[in-house]
Chains A and B, each alone.
Chain A
Amino acid sequence: MNVNQLIYRNLKNNLRNYYLYVFALIFSVSIYFAFVTLQYDASMDPATGTIKGQAAVRAGTIVLILIVGVFLVYANNLFIKRRSNEIALFQLIGMTKGKVFRLLTIENLILYLVSLAIGIGVGFSISKLMVMIVYKLTDVTDIATMHFSTEALKQTLIVFGIIYLLIMFVNYLFIKRESILSLFTIQQSTEIKVKRLSIFQVLLGLLGIGFIISGYVVSQQLFSGDFSTTNELFYAMAFILGAVIVGTYLFYKGSVTFVLQLIRKSHKGYLSINQVLSTSSIMFRMKSNALLLTIITTVSALAIGLLSLSYISYYSAEKQAENFVINDFSLVNEESYKQFTSILEENGIDYQVNQIEVFNVELDATNIMDFNYDEDSSVTMNPSELQLPIISDESIEEIDVDENHFFLSGYSDFLQRFMSFKKSGEATIKTESEQFSMKFIGLNREYYVSNYFTNGGGMPIGIVDEAKYQQLKTDMDPELQQRSQDGGAMTFRGIDVSEQDIEKANELFLTEEIDRWAGNDSQQNMARNQRMNMGLIMFIVGFLGLTFLVTSGCILYFKQMDESENEKPSYTILRKLGFTQQDLIKGIQLKQFFNFGIPLLVGLLHSYFAVQSGWFFFGTEVWTPMLIVMIVYAILYSLFGLLSVLYYRKIIQEAL
């Protein structure tokens, strides 16, 4: 047998054993190529394209290179270790280290070239699909056309060439460093050393859980007003991040072992087969993989969290636009109102107008607000001098307020974090020369005027009785009406058109540049802009999230392949003792449920708390988008668990 035959045989054998590695390689290449193709696509061009997202996509590619690079190096390390016996054997029969290295290099080169070719083919064919997805997400109605980009090809070849060289370098170091003897024993040496649980570990375990919980608790208070200076906020965030990550590490290092040990102890040595295969094995392996699992968990949590947040803002785009613009169009002054309505009339579009007069008063809300501003010098807002826009209850049909009563509307989860009001109480409304003591009767989430009038959505709006409104208006303080041109009351004008006219009206709104006056807005436009911005971000985050999911799933799967190989003798014993294959498979299923389930669960929990702590910055709806993201992630992730069970089935079958 000459060297060429050797290479060929090795390759054939490896393809069968490491099909997932090859798959991962092809997957990485195609994902990368598709992504880079997207970057060079005309529609991404900042000057001429329909989606101005080249910079975002480029940032994405860099993260992608990192993920793919780390993943491939890691996978290669696992596989070269598994082949250490073979490498040692080659050296034993007289091959020099250089020759073995050359053998590996050629073998890998062939593997890489084939994967690159397939990957680029697949990548090209899915890149059109990807552009279509981007268009769909960003509401662009272009038709996706794809050109094979030589730029993208070049970039892909360069990146994977570098990764290839890097891997070869790692292999070179490995072969150079290890002696023949250590190569033969390397597989045993990676096996875990079983030791008994020490008190120290129990403490570490408890500490880990404690850290995670404290991180969670602080995260929930992060934006509740307890940390109001930037410094405090920064320290709190750093604390959360540190506590959760260290806690996760200790959790894997100690807590899992500790909890399982408790379960085992309770059985007094009399373990069922499921426990033998699952708990006792996980107990020791989780500990030795603590670092890897921590990284996987943290990045999973990050991916799920970012995905949830971007989906929240995408999902909330419409609702938010509705809250901010109220009607199909909102206009803030007489001039634009006249122009727009006459345009609508010219084009034969029927419309309805909703007019609400607004002006600002000063509110002393000391008695109805729930916060101690005295303690915190950095809060610039003074609750005794709040600038509050008010409207009359006449403006809104379904509402009638008693004289001397008022309530606030347009209150959001976001506002709640910075201004929390009591249920009711006494407050004082000040005009230029007078003061009115009024009874505050509650909060409401409805929006009545566009955000132009409420300090960009930063304040709720006060609603008072018509008589009171007129009384306040006569004595209004012109200094508070900064946005008004004449220092008097302003009028919000909302215009609604029928469903079938909305497209046309929106077009007119844009072509006639009604939005040249600040504050004039079209609801459809706003939602579309929001979706466009968030759509691209969501696409990139989702894409990276998916890549990460696949790579981390693969890493866990590879680990399980390794573990199953190491545990094969155990399966032989158990089968000799009379356990059936089904018995073993059942135990393995439980084991894999833990192996994949624990990191997933911890990751989901982390991201849940992360999302809960700050989602209101991103949108108005939290549960639906977050749950959708989490469920999809969990399903995709568990596929790898299923795959690994299938692999174990094969090993168990061969064990006897």
Chain B
Amino acid sequence: MHLLKAQKIYKSFGNKFNRTEVLKGIDFTIDQGEFVTIMGPSGSGKTTLLNVLSSIDQVSHGTITIDGHIITNMKSKKLAEFRKHHLGFIFQEYNLLDTLTVKENILLPLSIQKVSRQQANEKFDLAAKELGIYEQRNKYPSEISGGQKQRTSAARAFIHQPSIIFADEPTGALDSKAASNLLNKMVEMNEKHKATILMVTHDPVAASYSDRVVLLKDGEVYSQLNKGDEDQQLFFNDIVKTQGVLGGVQHER
């Protein structure tokens, strides 16, 4: 059963006379409970693909189905409704609201759904404890570390048990320890709660935590790597090797 199915996705920017094709007919599926990473050099279209798949941007052609809903022809109001229930987000820049405490930030997605306060609190306790930020719940984002911020952001993405979670360079602004901490938590959520995760990164180490890596080049799927039964180190070597073949700019940093 495919949770997310993208068929022949095209996306171009610009006007009639000056058009840049960013995505050139991408076919792509994610299964229920899978942890997938999209990699690719700069300009390969990975962020665009993530934006399109997560309904934040519109495709030029093609259809995207998530959990049985075709999102490519939904109206913006309906899309908002859809995001509310089915999608979760983790961003590189944390994207927490400065004026809200950690707890308030995490509870945001629940406040739009009609969840009782008691239920919301239970869910919060669970998510916050699992991600190790329960102690920080009454602090403001400016008072906690980057790693804690990102875990807050992750807790916010997980709390309403969305069908799929989109993570855009979640480790981009973290040091390696905080990054591996976060990724371990994400793997844990993936295994324990069968959360489906789609992550975009250019960091092969981060990618090696996932089940499958999709490599993009110039707006097309270049190759896919499955972790299978390999351990993380071997998978990492595979990724780096393929990346080398891929050429282009491998490390943006």
Contacts and interface: CB of A to CB of B under 8 A. Distances in A.
A270 B117 contact: yes
Contacts of B81: 578, 580
Interface in B42-73: 54, 56
Interface stretch (B8-16, B108-116, B175-183): B108-116
Interface in A452-491: none
B141 to A, nearest CB: 8
Interface stretch (A192-200, A428-436, A615-623): A192-200
Contacts of B56: 576, 656
B80 interface: yes
A281 B99 contact: yes
A284 B109 CA distance: 23
21 contacts: A194-B98, A194-B99, A195-B140, A270-B120, A271-B100, A271-B107, A271-B108, A276-B97, A276-B100, A276-B108, A280-B99, A281-B99, A283-B99, A574-B108, A576-B54, A576-B56, A576-B89, A577-B108, A578-B80, A578-B83, A582-B77
Contact of A583 (B104, B112, B124, B141): B112
Interface in B77-135: 77, 80-85, 87, 89, 91, 93, 95-101, 103-104, 107-112, 117, 120-121, 124
B139 to A, nearest CB: 8
Contacts of B140: 194-196
Given A578-B83, A578-B112, A583-B112, A280 B89 contact: no
A583 B84 CA distance: 12
A578 B109 contact: yes
B199 to A, nearest CB: 16
B124 A269 contact: yes
Contact of B95 (A268, A269, A270, A573): A573
Given A196-B140, A583-B112, A269 B82 contact: no
B22 to A, nearest CB: 18
Contacts of B121: 268, 270
Given A193-B142, A268-B117, A578-B87, 19 more contacts: A192-B98, A194-B140, A194-B142, A196-B143, A269-B104, A269-B107, A269-B124, A269-B137, A270-B107, A271-B107, A273-B111, A276-B108, A276-B111, A576-B95, A577-B89, A578-B85, A578-B109, A580-B77, A583-B112
Interface of A: 191-196, 264, 268-273, 276, 280-281, 283-284, 569-570, 572-583, 656
Given A577-B89, A580-B77, A271 B111 contact: yes
Nearest to B157: A577
Contacts of A576: 54, 56, 83, 89, 95
Contacts of A194: 98-99, 140-142
Contact of A270 (B77, B93, B98, B111): B111
B121 to A, nearest CB: 7
B100 A280 contact: yes
Nearest to B102: A269
Nearest to B87: A578
Nearest to A285: B99
A582 to B, nearest CB: 8
Contacts of B139: 196
Given A194-B140, A276-B108, A580-B81, A269 B101 contact: yes
B154 to A, nearest CB: 14
A575 B80 contact: yes
A24 B29 CA distance: 56
Contacts of B84: 577-579
A272 B108 CA distance: 8
Contacts of B93: 569
A573 B85 contact: no
Nearest to A571: B97
B57 to A, nearest CB: 9
A573 B97 contact: yes
